[in-house]
Structure 1
Amino acid sequence: MNSLWLRGILVACLACLLPMQASAAAPANSSADPDKVLRYIFIAAETGFDPAITRDLYSAHIVQSIFETLYTYDYLARPAKLIPLTAEALPEVSEDGKTYTIRLKKGIYFQSDPAFNGKKRELTMADYVYTYKRLFDPKLSSPHTWLLEGKVVGLDEMAEQARKNNHFDPDAKVAGFELLDRYTLRIHLKQPDFNLGMILAHEPTSAVAREVVEKYRDAQGQVMSNPVGTGPYVLSEWVRGSRMVLTANPDFRGSTWDFQAGSDPEDQAIVAKLKGKRMPQIGRIEISVMVEDQSRWLAFQNDEIDIFQLEGPLAPQALSGGKLKPALVKKGIQLSRIVDPEISYYYWNMKDPVLGGLSKEKIALRRAIAMAHNVREEIKIVWNDEAVPLEYPIPPGIVGHDPDYKSSIQYEPDAANALLDKFGYKIGSDGYRTLPDGKPLQVRYSARSDSNGQQQSEMWKKTYDSIHIKMVGDLKPFPDLLKAEKECQLQSRTAPWIADYPDGDNFMQLFYGPNTGQNNNGCTKIPEYDKLYAETQKLPAGPERDLLYHKMTRILEVYSPSRVGYARYRNMLAQPRVIGFKKHPILHCEWMYFDIEKGK
């Protein structure tokens, strides 16, 4: 018997100590087969499953499996195409772009839970209104309020009143949310918003039931441990930081697989295998957390895992020239490979007393550090060339990307040293620079406490050494990094951001001042940038908005609160028994859209 199997038995027994309300298996009339089991790996620990709070990729897999938004994305269409999920159709939008009318499908039910007192609980548009309002609960301190902030008539005023009273009233009237009936919502906006449909496909806007929140919320108002949704799966086992098991939701309505082939030649084979099937087919998903690269690779090689993300450090084990090695092809292993719609960028905390601020000497310090870092060398050493360098903060595959843009920040270590000399960062007798006032200069670089984070830290130590700045490494567990980052406690980090929705706005908001404490990881506040960002909110995608994005990018280069690094390849390996899997650029998980042969 293999070690992963034994470990699975142990943690499953431990999980029995956690009271889960979900049914262990779908009923006989469900399309999902409990004997179809998918085994999956997270490369970092989850943080919890409240859609209003969760902001890490791994927890988002679970959230997207249990909860449902009004809209989602076509499984095969590239570029990503918005389609209805719980909504009957795409929204009806007024000519001025300020009114959205959305109709909900009838007969959608939340999974059974004691919060509903034994009654069958139907999803209504009031649940979505409650969800949207809840993002503004001051006690909750959601990192996702930016999604609707400044947009819906009366919503910001409700939020301000809640802050003043230190009390969130979910029954407070918001003029911008007009419930025409149980299944019809009309949203009134302060100004045209051309991304609202995509925002309503992002999992923080997933419907949550008020009864569930009121029954299970903690002192901060969060419901991280009792996810109850209308989606295809329920959480039936959970051992924190170790193992999660999803089983098919017996109350789920199901769907018929009916996607059309896109431009990828492999799509035709997927359509042939899946068209007409009732979904989901997979009855059980077993997720293990494995931080170490070699452990994941060995588990996949030993056929203990069905789908596996091959990060850059492991790429030489399986790939050659971006393609599977012949030995793996011979075994029937499948590869789905995309350039992630992401930016991995470096930031320096603008609230930090050493690195932050807009004075000339602080700008010079950050700019010099940015110029001293060799992005291409990092891609080669840390990621085994499994990434592409970026010049622009909007990555390929996202509306607003400019492939011809050339950044003013390039790798120029000699110029970086000269810049530090000019602004008074003198080299002391120990070989390291001091601050202009003569005090010691030291930078703390934070990264994940795994082999990948260690490599990143070593790369940055080399960068700082090249400009005579003392650096100390700070390796933390992934959840701790996110918590400290949200509170502006990290001094410097390489932050990856994968698209929530396929528009440039989702990336430019990363540096918007009011988003500090949400997604503005570097706690950046530059008035010129913020003013231009507010102007882009009034514009549709196109040349006029692109011009503003270019100006905003130049502002970031001048003040250097951050530097754009790269976008990584996402290599997903699948065992031969997996049927019809294709990595989606926006959806976190796809197991409700593909099939698997029954296991041993």
Structure 2
Amino acid sequence: MKIKVGYGAAYGRLFKLSAAVFALAALTSCKEIPNSVHTEKELASNTLYTPFSGRSPKHLDPTSSYSSDETPYTYSIYEPLYQYHFLERPYRLIPRSAAEVVKPVYLDKDGKVLPETASAEEIALSVYEIPIKKGILFAPHPAFAKNEKGEYVNHALAPEVIDQLHNPMDLPQKGTRELTAEDFVYSIKRMANPRIIAPVYGTMVNYLPGLKDFAVQVRAEDKRLRADLKPSDRDLPFLDLRKFELKGVSAPDKHTLRLEVKGKYPQFPNWLAMTFFAPVPWEAEAFYAQKGMAKNNLSLNYWPVGTGPYMLVESIENRKHVMERNPNFRKTELYPCTGEPGDEAKGFLKDCGKPLPFIDRIEITAEKESVPLRTKFLQGYYDSPQIERLDNGQGFLIGMADSAEKEKEYKEKKLQFPQTIEAQNTYFGFNWMDPVVGEGKTPEERERNKKLRQAISIAMDWEEYIQIFEKGLASPAHGPLPPGLFGYREDGAAAFNPIVYEKTEDGLVRRKSIEEAKKLLAEAGYPGGRDAKTGEPLVLNLDFQAAASPSTKAVLDWYQKQFAKIGIQLDIRGTDYNRFQDK
């Protein structure tokens, strides 16, 4: 596992984009862009141009979304309760749709209030009463449109209208309403919706007391609604979660959300900064549940509905996505006035107190190949080569180090490469259900499989990987927490992985030897990489998140080399990223 050092790259007109998601700083004026491919009108439109690689995002539904390529959309369109201060490090939670970041009230098993200093063993419930900001409006959307009688005008569209509808924003009548605490209650209920892939459910069911029983009720209701449908039918009747109570999640009043959490769970507020806890209006689900909508990919996965600074107005799958400023977004969200030491000198605070966002339109276009992408970026077609990644500047830095000509070109174009430690890690995951590398069903299997995983972990020489492929711009990780996150330790036992590393007599940390890995492999029942009982070679499969190509060949060859060092054959199964997520 490794922790990356991130470098951003930006080139183009003066822009700064901020919705507590990302911000890029300005390099040149529009008149300085050589070989501009944009018209004067486009250049004057306050539009951010950036590409995306591969395929379109798979999940824009906030309850399902859990991948970095989706975040430029989801965190710009949706507003969770909390967010992280944009400039301060270590990361600090601040309000987003909530009015403040609250401390929990601790209760014992009898419901009596405990002091903040109470031990975890004493605490039965942690109760959060979170005030919601008043006056927040959803972005204009047809799901909210009503007539003079207060009836929803787009919840029973004619079949011929739906058949021709590919962009919900093409419907002439749109509406909005104020955000309420009930919208958060509804969104939390969606974690248990059997029709939705909610990666957070497996964790939250252990902490939200009523979620498991609620899921049973909702599954029964879904089964009833599907009784006369085929398993392959995509059009499903509206599953109205408002009809069922979720114990421990409530709205005591219009602008207060009450959450009861089992025991003491200090990390829970950090979950509230993720889109899983972003408000979802029931009207949107009812609107998209109309017969015929699924055929045209009209759903929250493709057309999100939120209160954030942007709204999706155009979406052509695998080609182009456009977000525009939400006209209902409040003017009270301001650019921060504090940051890390040195931020003021760098100019990061010069927009202190200005209303957000600064960009009117974000146009994200598909680019399948890296070479055309880089060429277009250097020509000024794009303002950023890939806005959701902080490490896209590494390739430019490597190019500058290898070529004096490129170094001269990039400096003339005033490319900027601000450096930071990125809160990200890269890791290999083992399929826990796999009989060979997974958990195992018996104590003997568990011990054998564990030793196999440990042998592989030692053999994977991330120090070598970092030097070859990252040019030294990363750090080997000793745990899941990267620098900058609460809980990260630079020294002590928490910063040392004794399974993979050992300390020398002079206190240095080094990776254990290949001989140690081979010993563990033999103890796991695979001496020399062969099954001790059958003599068959051990072959493991690696599902890779991109199709095999010339650009990935060197990395994939390196992976196979690492496994071969201890005699294991690695079969790499490449796929596109959306399919990889399914797997």
Same fold (TM over 0.5): yes
How far does residue 360 in structure 1 lie from its aligned partner after superposition? 3.8
Paired amino acid for 1:238? S
Change beyond 3 A, Cα 1:147–1:206: farther
1:155 corresponds to which of 200, 206, 211: 211
Read off the aligned partner of 2:133 and give its amino acid letter: K
Corresponding position of 2:233: none
Match of 2:451 in 1: 364
State whether residues 261 and 268 of structure 1, in contact with CA within 8 Å, keep that contact through their aligned partners in structure 2.
Answer: no
Report the identity percentage. 27
| Structure-2 separation of matches of 1:271 and 1:295 | 31
Matches within 5 A, 1:510-549: none
Q: Compute the TM-score of the two structures, normalised by the length of structure 2.
A: 0.70
Pick aligned residue for 2:472 from 385, 392, 409: 385
The aligned amino acid for 2:415 is I
User: Could you tell me whether the CA contact under 8 Å between 1:382 and 1:452 is conserved in 2?
Assistant: no
Distance 1:451-1:194 versus aligned 2 partners, 3 A rule: farther
C-alpha displacement of 1:438: 2.9
Task: State whether residues 379 and 387 of structure 1, in contact with CA within 8 Å, keep that contact through their aligned partners in structure 2.
Answer: yes
CA contact (8 A) 1:382 1:455 kept: no
- Residue 406 of structure 1 corresponds to 496
Classify 1:114/1:344 alpha carbon distance in 2 versus 1 (closer, same or farther; 3 Å).
same
Distance 1:54 1:222, change over 3 A: farther
What residue in structure 1 maps to residue 533 of structure 2?
Answer: 436
What SS does the corresponding residue of 2:128 show, helix, strand or coil? strand
For residues 276-316 of structure 1, give each alpha carbon's deviation from its aligned partner in whole angstroms, at most 9, with x where no partner exists. 42221211111123354333322221111112352645540
5 Å-filtered alignment, 1:436-455, equals 436-447=533-544, 448-449=546-547, 453-455=552-554
Give the corresponding residue for 1:132: 188
Which residue of the partner structure matches residue 91 of structure 1? Answer: 102
Q: 2:302 aligns with which of 207, 212, 225?
A: 225
Q: Check the 8 A contact 2:337/2:349 in 1, yes or no.
A: no
Q: Which entry has the higher C-alpha Rg, 1 or 2?
A: 2
Contact 2:88–2:339 (CA<8 Å) still a contact in 1? yes
Per-residue CA shift, 1:110-163, capped at 9, x if unaligned?
Answer: 122221234432211100100011111123231122453222342332123334
Deviation at 1:68, TM superposition (A): 1.1
- Shift of the alpha carbon at 1:222? 6.3
2:185 aligned with 1:103: no
The Cα of 1:480 is off from its aligned counterpart by: 1.0
2:45 is aligned with 1:35: yes
1:83/1:89 contact within 8 Å kept: yes
The alpha-carbon deviation at position 241 of structure 1 amounts to 2.5
Following TM superposition, by how much is the alpha carbon of 1:415 offset from its aligned partner in structure 2, in angstroms?
2.6
What is the alpha-carbon distance in structure 1 between the residues aligned to residue 62 and residue 96 of structure 2? 17
Deviation sequence 1:442-480 (CA, Å, 0-9, x none): 112222225554333111111122222222221111111
RMSD of aligned residue pairs (Cα, Å) = 2.9
The offset of 1:87, in angstroms, is 1.7
Deviations along 1:326-384, one digit per CA (max 9) or x if unpaired, are: 75345332223222212211122232233332444333332222222211111122223
Quickly say closer, same or farther: Cα 1:480–1:34, change in 2 above 3 A: farther
Which secondary structure does the structure 2 equivalent of 1:381 belong to? helix
What's 2:563 paired with? 464
SS of corresponding position for 2:133: coil
1:352 paired to 2:362: no
Structure 2 counterpart of 1:283:
360
Q: Is the 8 A contact 1:71 1:87 kept in 2?
A: yes
- Tell me the distance in 2 between the aligned counterparts of 1:88 and 1:125: 12
Report the AA paired with residue 391 of structure 1.
Answer: H
Residues 1:114 and 2:125 aligned together:
no
Give the conservation status (yes or no) of the 8 Å contact 1:87–1:105: yes
Q: Is the 8 A contact 1:311 1:383 kept in 2?
A: no
Counterpart residue identity of residue 543, structure 2:
S
2:74 corresponds in structure 1 to 63
Counterpart-to-counterpart distance in 2, 1:411 and 1:445: 23
Deviation at 1:204, TM superposition (A): 1.8
Separation in 2, partners of 1:179, 1:336: 44
**What amino acid sits opposite 1:395 in the alignment?**
P
Q: Secondary structure at the match of 1:287?
A: strand
Relative to the length of structure 1, the TM-score reads 0.68
Q: CA deviation at 1:101?
A: 1.4
Q: Distance in 1 between matches of 2:268 and 2:456?
A: 38
- Partners of 1:92 and 1:362 lie apart in 2 by 42
- Aligned residue for 1:278, secondary structure, equals coil
Q: Deviations over 1:149-206 (max 9, x none)?
A: 2223423321233345655643312331232211122222332332333211111211
Matched, 1:394 2:481: yes
- Structure-2 separation of matches of 1:319 and 1:213: 52
**d(CA) in 2 for partners of 1:385 and 1:141?**
38
Superposition deviation, residue 435 in structure 1: 5.7
User: What amino acid does structure 2 have at the position aligned with 1:91?
Assistant: V
Equivalent residue letter for 2:61: D
Q: Are the aligned partners of 1:374 and 1:411 in contact in 2 as well (CA < 8 Å)?
A: no
Distance in structure 2 (CA, Å) of the matches to 1:458 and 1:241 = 29
Please name the residue that 1:235 is paired with.
312
Aligned mates of 1:207, 1:34 — CA distance in 2 = 34
- Distance in 2 (CA, whole Å) between partners of 1:91 and 1:403 is 29
Answer yes or no: is the 8 Å Cα contact 1:147–1:199 preserved in 2.
no
Q: Distance in 2 between matches of 1:433 and 1:72?
A: 50
2:254 counterpart residue number: 182
Task: Describe the shift of the 1:255–1:329 C-alpha distance in structure 2 as closer, same or farther (beyond 3 A).
Answer: farther
CA distance in 2, matches of 1:334, 1:71: 30
In structure 2, distance between residues paired with 1:89 and 1:477: 41
Instruction: Give ranges in structure 2 of 5+ residues lacking alignment.
Output: 1-42, 107-113, 117-125, 147-174, 224-238, 387-391, 501-510
**Residue identity in the other structure for 2:477:** L
